[in-house]
């Protein structure tokens, strides 16, 4: 088995949480090699990350709407990636032990979307950010959505932190507190996005317990897109033209009618031996 086949085999055996983490890690590693390749060939593709990161400029978002999701797949540093994936692994693992994969994906990706929208709203309405340019990357909003969903659902569930067991609700509250107090000091847009994701996780959990899956539209949309792509890739079979074939009975009747017309015009004796035999057989059917 080749290297790529081995990777595909290992990837197929992962659960949805592990697959998501693997994809995000790949999106962190590949750009590093990409930059090395460009450097070695004395080339550059300046601003390539802007194709995927979320800008605070509304005009830029309108021209690149996919960045409302893609910004969540990129990270600015190894530390940023590590802590996000560790927290996602813990909280996501708890969620998948109790709920289906689609709920996890709805929570995470709509958390990314909610964080991006909160970021855009803040930078385009609050006086503190007026005339400021900013770019956003990182999956923290989605991670916070999953964490807060589970902390709201099972607040007293213990999580091992070094030698202590800490209730999940306190871990969530600690991260929310840190995001709030750090807004004036550093990475204001990132912390605001985290809070947007946390808000979505809390609201989703509340409504889900009431029987309202307000996030179900996300995976339904994904499934619809998949089905649409399959239909466009599958070549349509051309309908075969209908062939109008005369049945044996209609053909026989036509021939009988011709013989009867001949009898009416010239009498029975004008028929040939074959025509007389044919008329006789038809009368017996």
Mean pLDDT of the chain: 87
d(CA 255, CA 283): 13
70 and 107 housed in the same domain = yes
In a domain, 240, yes or no: no
> Which percentage of the chain shows pLDDT scores above 90?
61
In a domain, 241, yes or no: no
The residue ranking higher by pLDDT, 261 or 165, is 165
CA distances to 250, 255, 271 from 264, rounded to whole Å, are: 21, 14, 11
Ramachandran quadrant class, 131 (left: phi over 0; alpha: psi -120 to 50; beta: rest):
left
pLDDT band at 245 (very low <50, low <70, confident <90, very high): very low
CB 160 within 8 A of CB 105: no
Locate all alpha helices (DSSP H) within 41-167, ordered by sequence.
Answer: 58-63, 67-70, 78-98, 101-123, 140-153
The confidence score (pLDDT) of residue 163 equals 82
Phi, psi of 54 (to 5 degrees): -90, 120
How confident is the model over 84-129, as pLDDT tens digits? 999 999 999 999 999 999 999 999 999 999 999 999 999 999 999 9
What is the rounded distance in angstroms from the CA atom of residue 200 to the CA atom of residue 221?
Answer: 18
Residue owning tokens 């010239």: 266
Within this chain, do residues 163 and 27 fall inside the same structural domain, yes or no?
yes
Q: How far apart are CA 199 and CA 114, in angstroms?
A: 8
The beta strands (E) that lie in the chain are given as: 54-55, 135-136, 158-161, 164-167
Tell me: do 176 and 274 sit in the same domain: no
Q: Answer whether residue 242 is part of any domain.
A: no
Return the number of other C-beta atoms located less than 10 Å from residue 82's C-beta.
Answer: 13
One domain for residues 99 and 35: yes
Residue 239, domain member (yes or no): no
pTM of the predicted structure, to 2 decimals: 0.78
Task: Please indicate, yes or no, whether residues 154 and 214 belong to a single structural domain of this protein.
Answer: yes
Provide, rounded to the nearest whole percent, the portion of the chain with pLDDT above 70.
Answer: 84
Close Cβ partners of 103 (under 8 Å, ≥ 6 residues apart)? 95, 208, 213, 215
- The answer to whether the CB of 139 falls within 8 A of the CB of 112 is yes
What's residue 131's pLDDT?
Answer: 80
Q: Supply the pLDDT for residue 70.
A: 96
* pLDDT tens by residue, 2-24: 777 888 888 888 999 999 999 99
- Give the Cα separation of 143 and 162 in Å (integer): 21
- Residues 209, 272, single domain; the answer is no
Which domain range does residue 197 map to? 3-233
Q: Is the pLDDT higher at 253 or at 197?
A: 197
Q: Is 115 in the same domain as 41? A: yes
- In a domain? residue 63: yes
Does residue 108 belong to any structural domain of this protein? yes
39 and 153 part of one domain: yes
Q: Would the pLDDT of 71 be above 50? A: yes
**pLDDT of 137:** 95
The verdict on residue 48 lying in a domain is yes
Better-scored residue on pLDDT, 161 or 195: 195
Specify whether 35 is located in the same domain as 118. Answer: yes
Residues 118 and 160 in one domain: yes
Number of domains in the chain: 2
Residues 70 and 166 in one domain: yes
Position 264 pLDDT exceeds 80: no
What pLDDT is stored for residue 246 in this prediction?
Answer: 47
Do 17 and 102 form a contact (C-beta atoms < 8 A)? no
User: What CATH code is carried by the domain that includes residue 77?
Assistant: 1.20.1540.10
Look at residue 238 and tell me if it is in a domain: no
Q: Are residues 32 and 88 in the same domain?
A: yes
């Amino acid at each position: 088995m080749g290297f790529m086949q081995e990777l595909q085999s290992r990837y197929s055996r992962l659960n949805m949480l592990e697959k998501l983490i693997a994809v995000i890690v790949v999106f962190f590693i590949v750009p590093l090699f990409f930059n090395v390749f460009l450097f070695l060939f004395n080339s550059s593709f300046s601003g390539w990350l802007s194709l995927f990161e979320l800008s605070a400029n509304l005009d830029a978002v309108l021209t690149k709407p996919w960045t409302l999701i893609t910004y969540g797949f990129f990270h600015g540093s190894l530390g940023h990636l590590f802590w996000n994936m560790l927290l996602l692994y813990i909280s996501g693992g708890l969620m998948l032990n109790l709920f289906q994969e689609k709920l996890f994906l709805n929570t995470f990706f709509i958390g990314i979307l909610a964080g991006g929208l909160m970021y855009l709203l803040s930078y385009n309405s609050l006086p503190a950010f007026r005339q400021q340019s900013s770019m956003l990357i990182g999956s923290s909003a989605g991670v916070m959505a999953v964490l807060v969903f589970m902390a709201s659902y099972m607040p007293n569930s213990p999580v091992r932190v070094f030698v202590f067991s800490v209730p999940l609700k306190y871990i969530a509250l600690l991260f929310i507190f840190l995001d709030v107090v750090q807004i004036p000091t550093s990475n204001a847009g990132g912390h605001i996005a985290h809070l947007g994701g946390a808000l979505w996780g809390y609201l989703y959990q509340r409504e889900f317990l009431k029987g309202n899956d307000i996030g179900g539209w996300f995976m339904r949309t994904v499934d619809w897109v998949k089905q649409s792509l399959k239909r466009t890739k599958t070549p349509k079979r051309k309908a075969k033209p209908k062939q109008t074939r005369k049945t044996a009975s209609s053909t026989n009747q036509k021939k009988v009618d011709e013989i009867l017309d001949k009898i009416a015009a010239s009498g029975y004796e004008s028929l040939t031996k074959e025509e007389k035999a044919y008329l006789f057989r038809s009368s017996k059917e």
